[in-house]
Amino acid sequence: MPLPKLVVPDYECKLPVSGTKVTYRPFLVKEEKLLYLAMESQNEKEMIRAVKQILKACTNVPNVEKLATFEIEYLFLKIRSKAVGEVSEFKVTCQDDGETQVDVQLNLDEIEVNVPKDHKKIVKLTDTVKVQMRYPSLDAFIDTNMKEDPDIEDVFELAADCIEKVYDGDETYEAFTKKEAKDFLGEMNSEQFQSIQKFFDTMPKLRHEFVVTNPKTKVDNTIILEGLAAFFA
């Protein structure tokens, strides 16, 4: 006689920026095991692979690979908070002496995605030409940023992948190849290409800022937790 199935509650959230509604559940012990093994490996790619597997198992998102980096971070944090509790304990190092560690508690449900005021998805190149960008997938973003010294070709690859549409006056271009996108990037002047790079530099990200007081020196320290790895604690 088979053992009974345990009921796992479902929750809903709205992804930041895109506004997509997602149904999710807490991760189970078998999925938590994947996460712990990845954390023990200290390998960022293993951690990312584990997070993606958990999102595929615990959400109704049809294609996790297409989620923006910050949406993956946000959704994973929601799943984690329901699985192990909304309050998470961290140890942070005080910056004023670089050694004193302080225990802090954070309510994971209060952590949000920060969208810089100067971030724009539509980049103006000239009076008539504009580019609409899409957010890179986690795989594309990590492949570029995990390299010790990404070269200009790596930057071109990422930027070309993220050009969604090009507007020239009343004309809209969206059926173009990656080679055509790279050629288009290559024809920009330095200022125009920097405006494309600014899109990546100002992308939304999971970010939480708070102040702790060093118990030894009594100095207030501003602590910033940013990105996926900071919330693996």
Q: Report domain extents, the chain.
A: 11-113+205-231, 126-201
Q: How confident is the model at residue 142 (pLDDT cuts 50, 70, 90)?
A: low
Task: Determine the pLDDT at residue 96.
Answer: 94
Instruction: pLDDT band for 210, please (50, 70, 90 cuts).
Output: very high
Average pLDDT, the chain: 87
Mean pLDDT of 185-197: 95
Q: Is 31 helix (H, G, I), strand (E, B) or coil?
A: helix
d(CA 38, CA 36): 5
Tokens of 29: 């012990």
Q: What is the average per-residue pLDDT within 14-20? A: 90
Does 144 score more than 60 pLDDT? no
Residue with tokens 């692979």: 49
Q: What's this model's pTM, rounded to 2 decimal places?
A: 0.80
Mean pLDDT of 122-137: 94
Greater pLDDT, 149 or 227: 227
pLDDT at 199: 95
Which is more confidently placed, 48 or 164? 164
pLDDT digits (tens, 9 = 90+) for 18-44: 899 999 999 898 888 887 887 777 676
Q: Which residues contact 219 (CB under 8 A, 6 or more apart)?
A: 94, 96, 213
- What does the pLDDT read at residue 73? 86
Higher pLDDT, 82 or 146: 82
- φ/ψ of residue 147, rounded to 5: -75, 140
pLDDT attached to residue 229: 65
Q: How far apart are CA 228 and CA 87, in angstroms?
A: 17
Average pLDDT for 187-205 = 94
Say if residues 190 and 207 touch (Cβ distance below 8 Å): no
Q: Which of 111, 87, 88 minimizes the C-alpha distance to 232?
A: 88
